[in-house]
Amino acid sequence: MRENWDDLRIFLAVARGDSLSGAGRVLRMDPATVGRRVARLEESLGQPLFDKSPQGYALTEAGARLLSHAETAEQALGQGTQAVRGAGEGLSGQIRIGAPDGCANFLLPQVVAEITAENPELEVQIVALPRIVNLSRREADLAIGVSAPTAGRLVVQKLTDYRLHLAASEDYLARHPPIRSRDDLTRHRIVGYIPDMIFDKELDYLADLGLERVGLASNSVSVQFHWLRQGAGLGIVHDFALPAAPGLKKVLAKEVELTRSFYLIRHADDRRLGRLNTFAQALVQGVRRELTRLEGLT
């Protein structure tokens, strides 16, 4: 058997991307080359690692067994690299964070900028997704979620609580009937999530208010936010996002206040990685500090 780390690196990329093209983008390799390398590895091992179909590449039983060993090798390589570089030289290399786009757009940029300013050799990627990030497929090194997962080999740490309120632009409020109670909300255009694309029950804000009709809907918090800024309607906004749009005003602030939580989620096997532990600690402290600062401005 002649497989080496480079073969395992390619195998991991295909297993996580479910396709040659997806792996090729991550590896910056031609998909055909990726396919040849996978075939060579399978020949070396004497068994198929993937079931190939038009829908993609799915792990065989042999591939699933190899996956855990390949991930162990990946972690060992990361630990060894960090040990050689030295603990006193700051963080380096690449770390990818997955987060819901509200957090990714309005909370993480300042936090990550501060961390990288203190660690010039560190590269951080923020993946803003309107869905749950799959750590098992290594879509990210760590993720922030709005609920604590109960399945999978994951380590979950509560980051912080955050608040949300109804809000609309001053222009919208000036042009439409006054809102003095929840009953008045039915007379207004509501901005919110596409109902059948809400990926976590914690994001079903409008159900708490008894509002079923969403006149302007998007699976993106950023799109919703910009609709509200443009005076298109009334919707739920994170308090930490309000400082980015001074023209937005809370509506029924005392009657309608929602509290949700952010959780830091990591793969259980990564607990031994000192580099990720250090980054996670800085991220937790930074998120808590930044959220307190932004909510204080409202």
Percent of the chain with pLDDT over 90: 53
Please state which architecture CATH assigns to domain 5-84: Orthogonal Bundle (1.10)
Q: Per residue in 188-203, pLDDT tens? A: 999 999 998 988 888 8
Identical fold for domains 93-154+267-289 and 161-260, yes or no, is yes
- Look at residue 67 and tell me whether its pLDDT is greater than 90: no
Please count the other Cβ atoms lying within 10 Å of the Cβ belonging to residue 81: 12
Helix 61-85 crosses helix 5-17 at what angle (to 10 degrees)? 120
What does 179-191 look like in DSSP terms, one character per residue? --SGGGGGGS-EE
- Look at residue 289 and tell me whether its pLDDT is greater than 60: yes
- Look at residue 38 and tell me whether its pLDDT is greater than 80: yes
Q: Per residue in 139-186, pLDDT tens? A: 788 999 999 888 877 889 999 999 999 999 999 999 999 999 999 998
Right CATH number for 93-154+267-289 from 3.60.150.10, 3.40.190.10, 3.50.50.60, 3.40.470.10?
Answer: 3.40.190.10
Distance separating alpha carbons of residues 220 and 278, to the nearest angstrom: 31
Nearest to 108 by CA among 67, 140, 138: 140
In the chain, where the domains are located? 5-84, 93-154+267-289, 161-260
Report the mean per-residue pLDDT for the chain: 87
- Look at residue 130 and tell me whether its pLDDT is greater than 90: no
- Look at residue 84 and tell me whether its pLDDT is greater than 60: no
Q: Please compute the mean of the pLDDT values over residues 222-230 and round it to a whole number.
A: 96
User: What pTM did the predictor assign?
Assistant: 0.72
Helix 20-27 crosses helix 5-17 at what angle (to 10 degrees)? 120
Superfamily of domain 161-260: Periplasmic binding protein-like II (3.40.190.10)
- Look at residue 264 and tell me whether its pLDDT is greater than 60: yes
